[in-house]
Amino acid sequence: MSKVVLQGPVWLASDVHLGPATPATAEAFLGFLDAAADEAAAVLLPGDIFDAWIGDDAILAAPPWLAAVLQGLRHAAARIPLWLGRGNRDFLMGTALADALGARLLPEPALLETDYGRVLLTHGDEYCTDDDAYQQFRAMVRNPQWQAQFLAQGIPERLAMAQQARGESQAANQMKAAEIMDVNTQAVEDAFRTADVETIVHGHTHRPGRHVLDIDGRRCERWVLPDWDCDHANPPRGGWLVIDRDGLVFYDLDAA
């Protein structure tokens, strides 16, 4: 399991889901990045920062909304270490994007060594093992051969496939029981044991919160990062997690 050694306060945010129709969310996220650059020692973004990422070559002809987000990421990365993780929407982010931003790619999962101690960080979609359809989708799109074939297509074709996939996913989600789309208890317990940690942080489920578990007599905590929506949700939502020597603390957007 790959380690990421972090000294000082670490800020984490995921599931921002930025796209062409999220100007207010993008503005809030850029404000978060500026605050992180002022106050944190590192910022980690474990997945689904983008609502759909079709390949790093998208930055070569970035529309204005994306160019602004990329500039904000680049500015933050110039001031503090910025780590990008892959989610189920932006699993195609790669080294070309990271290099262009001056950022680094998070290992999956990442074993963080922080001032608070060891923390396992991941997007969290891999823990949703009751969702067979999703796990089949994940196995397909995480396959390097599939990715090479997809990326070999033109950007218009990839955009069309992404749009179709989004539509199919939204339709499929309407039919699923809510619990299927949450993490599986056994998968989470296995993750605690395999990594030998007492703290896991993930996103993906859009069910923010802190869960205390007893794993083999050890008190463990699972922290779920909030999703962001400042354009369509009322009230607007979003937030981040700070890990420092005193522990973990959630912050809402209105704390910024």
DSSP 138-157: HHHHT-HHHHHHHHTS-HHH
Contact string 11-50 vs Mn ion (x = CB under 5 A): -------------------------------------x--
Q: What's the Rg (C-alpha) of the chain? A: 18
Write the DSSP string, 169-227. HHHHHHHS-GGGGS--HHHHHHHHHHHT-SEEEE-SSS--EEEEEEETTEEEEEEEPPP
Distance CA 70, CA 76 (A): 10
- Stretch of 27-35, 72-80, 84-92, 150-158 contacting Mn ion, by CB under 5 A: 84-92
Selected from 38, 57, 168, 246, the binder of ligand LP5 by CB under 6 A is 168
Q: Which of 10, 18, 33, 181 binds ligand LP5 (CB under 6 A)?
A: 181
**Residue of the chain from 2, 170, 174, 234 that contacts ligand LP5 (CB under 6 A):** 170
Say whether residue 93 binds ligand LP5 (CB under 6 A): no
State phi, psi for 29 to the nearest 5 degrees.
-65, -40
Q: Which region among 71-79, 88-96, 158-166, 168-176 touches Mn ion (by CB under 5 A)?
A: 88-96
Q: Smallest Cα–Cα separation from 117: which of 226, 220, 251, 225?
A: 220
Binding mask 51-70 for ligand LP5 (x = CB under 6 A): -xxx----------------
Helix (H, G, I), strand (E, B) or coil at 248: strand
137 binds ligand LP5 (CB under 6 A): yes
Please give the helix or strand (H or E) that residue 249 lies within, else none.
strand 247-252
Residue 7 lies near ligand LP5 (rule: CB under 6 A): no
Q: Which does 87 bind (CB under 5 to 8 A by kind): Mn ion, ligand LP5, none?
A: Mn ion
- Using CB under 6 A, which of 88, 114, 122, 199 touches ligand LP5? 88
Binding mask 138-167 for ligand LP5 (x = CB under 6 A): ---x-------------------xx-xxx-
The site string for ligand LP5 over 26-55 (x = CB under 6 A, - otherwise) reads --------------------------xxx-
Q: Is the separation of the CB atoms in 188 and 120 below 8 Å? A: no
Q: Is 88 in the site for Mn ion (CB under 5 A)?
A: yes
Task: Give the shortest CB-154-to-ligand LP5 separation in angstroms.
Answer: 13
Measured at the CA of 41, the angle between CA 39 and CA 44, to 5 degrees, comes to 100
